[in-house]
Amino acid sequence: MPDPIADLADIVEPAIPVAAATGGDWPVVAAGVASGLALLLGLYWHWRRRAPRRALQRLRIRTDPQRAAGELAALLPQFKRAPEAQWREELQRLRFGPPQDDAQAVFERLCREAETMLVSRVS
């Protein structure tokens, strides 16, 4: 007589296949999170690095060159290259001197030169 437990065991309770246990998806998720974090940090670094240039662009559209010259002077510590003495004198003359007829043109030229000093280094 056949043994009902041995013969019907596969029908009643299927045998668990022998397979290697998977470790889950945590390495893929961790790599995705790390990549996303690295991307966000890179974007933030790039955004902060261009902040002085954006400030200079905002100054260029100002209509009061005397007040804008004071804000341009506040950007001096962020320059990669030190401005020449003549550039500083013109900036100080624009800030503290009497109003000039060509103040807007002088300020525009100072801003163009300041933009080159923001990005270039002296080797």
On whether the pTM is more than 0.75, the answer is no
Domain of residue 59: give its range: 51-119
Q: Assess if residue 39 is contained within a domain.
A: no
Please count the structural domains in the chain.
1
Q: Assess if residue 87 is contained within a domain.
A: yes
Q: Per residue in 39-97, pLDDT tens?
A: 999 999 999 989 999 999 999 998 899 999 999 999 999 888 889 999 999 999 999 99
Q: How many CB atoms lie within 10 A of CB 110?
A: 21
Q: Assess if residue 22 is contained within a domain.
A: no
90 vs 123, residue with greater confidence: 90
Of the pLDDT bands very low, low, confident and very high (cuts 50, 70, 90), residue 99 is: confident
Kindly give, in sequence order, each residue whose CB lies less than 8 Å from that of residue 117, ignoring residues fewer than 6 positions away.
Answer: 79, 80, 81, 82, 83
Distance CA 99, CA 52 (A): 27
What DSSP string runs through 107-120? HHHHHHHHHHHHH-
Q: Assess if residue 4 is contained within a domain.
A: no
Q: Assess if residue 67 is contained within a domain.
A: yes
Q: Count Cα atoms within 13 angstroms, Cβ side, for 77.
A: 1
Query: Taking 70 as the threshold, does the pLDDT of residue 5 lie above it?
Result: no
